Amino acid sequence: MEPTLKFFSGFAPNDLWYMGEAALRTLWISVLSISLGTVLGTLFGWMLYEGRRAAALTLAPVLDVFRSVPLIIQLVLFYNFAPIVGLNLDPFASGTVILTVYTAALVANVARGGIEAVGAPMRRAGRSLGLSYWQDLRHVVLPIGGRAVFPSWVGVALGVMKDSALVSVLGYVELLKASQILITRTQEPFLILALAGAFYFALSYPVSRYATYLENRWAQ
Amino acid sequence: MISIRDLHKYFGALHVLKGIDLDVQKGEVLSVIGASGSGKSTLLYCINGLEAIQDGTVTVDGTDVHAKGTDINTLRQKLGMVFQQWNSFPHLTALENVALAPRIVKGKPKAEARDIAAKQLQHVGLGEKLDVYPSALSGGQQQRLAIARALAMEPEYMLFDEATSALDPELVGEVLDTMRLLADEGMTMICVTHEMGFARDVSDRVAFFHQGVMEEIGPPAQIFGDARSEHTRKFLANVR
């Protein structure tokens, strides 16, 4: 009998490993982008707060663009147009750059809100003790304002982790891209998408739980 | 000595302090009284440089507070300040609240800063509350915490900005007692206050402010018994 040529093969236990590795890539690009984006966004938030008019005229509109334009458009535009200016970035690097800037644009407003939440009287109390501007920012504003906006920041971080799925359009094999590849091979979209969802949940849920734990501890 | 000469302060077009001249000697307790909006609190903010001034000078032990070259952060270590709102740092325990500035500003080792803090908390009667967070303290306790926090920097002057105004009436006494204690220990104090009893009993001099002008200054007996200014008499008649 002639051997049949098989285009499709069912879901195998090995494929779970494949998805697990992809989930780690999702985690890696998310952690990297959220960390860098948070640092950059905090800096932007501080500039928005301190720069007032100047920042409102220059920085704020730029951040608005990154917040408003759909992430998938930003990714495709950046990935395809960066080489024109001599930047030959692979999908991972392109994705990281855009996710970082996108995170920063979202975190900027959160950070500004955090600084505002501390309020002038508290800062005067700090300064009256002899704390310099930077010491006050580090030891009074950061811990107090940071806690005030921590839930918003967690929301941004979890959102960005899910949005990192869009980097798949550049060909970076993270969780969603890996799922698409497996679906093509196995023709079992329901099972594989459910598994991918479970992986995303497994990544998000501990973060969300830990955040709740921290909030409760601070509330005491 | 704190020396104020022809001090003018504006908030936009609003002329808040209109040419204040005032000397406060070491060891003196000065109470500043007057209606809300008379510029009393602003005077304190101008003394430790939390507010910029538009004209005149403020010098503390010969250092011009508002001069360009002045290291204001170092100067402020001499000038403890207690606010109407106590502004305890909510993320730190009572002990950490008080130890923060000695550690960060003066660079004291952690253990030494905590010793200083414990001593100052004992001083204001909060020796039992070292590891308690501010949210678990009453308003009066938080205000005493704020006093301890200022004292931990070993200031030579203490500025009190209506330290009891935001407190429930039954909590005012404990804060005034702490302020009395400091006065008895010889601390130089400028107290913006609505507590006329405190002003009369504890201060060496009382200044009355009216619409940005220091209308009158003198010993409590004179201000409360024989005020020269019509505004002072009217104000005192209303608050009694």
Instruction: Show the 3-state SS of chain B.
Output: CEEEEEEEEEECCEEEEEEEEEEECCCCEEEEEECCCCCHHHHHHHHCCCCCCCEEEEEECCEECCCCCCCHHHHHCCEEEECCCCCCCCCCCHHHHHHHHHHHCCCCCHHHHHHHHHHHHHHCCCCCCCCCCHHHCCHHHHHHHHHHHHHCCCCCEEEEECCCCCCCHHHHHHHHHHHHHHHHCCCEEEEECCCHHHHHHHCCEEEEEECCEEEEEECHHHHHHCCCCHHHHHHHHHHC
Which residue of A129, A135, A143 is in closest CB contact with B153? A129
Residue A59 CA to its chain's centroid (Å): 20
Query: Which of the four pLDDT bands, split at 50, 70 and 90, describes residue A218?
Result: confident
Q: Which of B27, B1, B25 is nearest to B185 (CA)?
A: B27
**Is A129 in contact with B87 (Cβ distance < 8 A)?**
no
Quote the CA–CA distance of A92 and A78 in Å, as a whole number. 12
Q: Which helix (H) or strand (E) holds A86?
A: none
**Is A130 in contact with B105 (Cβ distance < 8 A)?**
yes
Which residue of A121, A139, A220 is in closest CB contact with B100? A139
Q: What is the mean pLDDT of residues A207-211?
A: 94
Task: Indicate whether B65 pLDDT > 60.
Answer: yes
Query: Which of the four pLDDT bands, split at 50, 70 and 90, describes residue A54?
Result: confident
Which residue of A122, A124, A140 is in closest CB contact with B50? A124
Task: Indicate whether A220 pLDDT > 90.
Answer: no
Q: Specify the DSSP class assigned to residue A137.
A: I
Q: What is the mean pLDDT of residues B20-37?
A: 94
Task: Indicate whether A1 pLDDT > 60.
Answer: no
**Is A128 in contact with B90 (Cβ distance < 8 A)?**
no
Q: What is the mean pLDDT of residues A83-89?
A: 88
Q: In the structure encoding, which two tokens stand for residue B169, read together? A: 């009436």
A218 SS3 class: helix
Min Cα–Cα distance to chain A from B186, Å = 21
In total, chain B counts a number of residues equal to: 240
pTM: 0.86
- For the stretch A149-160, pLDDT in tens is 999 999 999 999
Which residue of B45, B77, B146 is in closest CB contact with A130? B77
Q: In the structure encoding, which two tokens stand for residue B217, read together? A: 């200054």
Query: Which of the four pLDDT bands, split at 50, 70 and 90, describes residue A102?
Result: very high
ipTM for the whole complex: 0.89
Mutate to test the interface with A, among B89, B96, B131, B132 (most CBs of A within 10 A): B89
Min Cα–Cα distance to chain B from A128, Å = 6
**Is A125 in contact with B153 (Cβ distance < 8 A)?**
no
Task: Indicate whether A10 pLDDT > 80.
Answer: yes
Query: Which of the four pLDDT bands, split at 50, 70 and 90, describes residue A3?
Result: low
Mean pLDDT for all residues in chain A: 92
CA-based nearest residue in chain A for residue B81 = A128
- For the stretch B193-221, pLDDT in tens is 999 999 999 999 999 999 999 999 999 99
**What pLDDT sits at residue A13?**
85
**What pLDDT sits at residue A9?**
82
Per cent of chain A over pLDDT 90 is 80
**Is A125 in contact with B87 (Cβ distance < 8 A)?**
yes
**What pLDDT sits at residue B73?**
93
**What pLDDT sits at residue A88?**
86
**Is B105 in contact with A121 (Cβ distance < 8 A)?**
no
- The answer to whether residue B132 neighbours chain A at the CB level (below 8 Å) is no
Which residue of A127, A140, A220 is in closest CB contact with B89? A140
Task: Indicate whether A20 pLDDT > 80.
Answer: yes
With beta carbons less than 8 A apart as the criterion, state whether A19 and A178 touch: yes
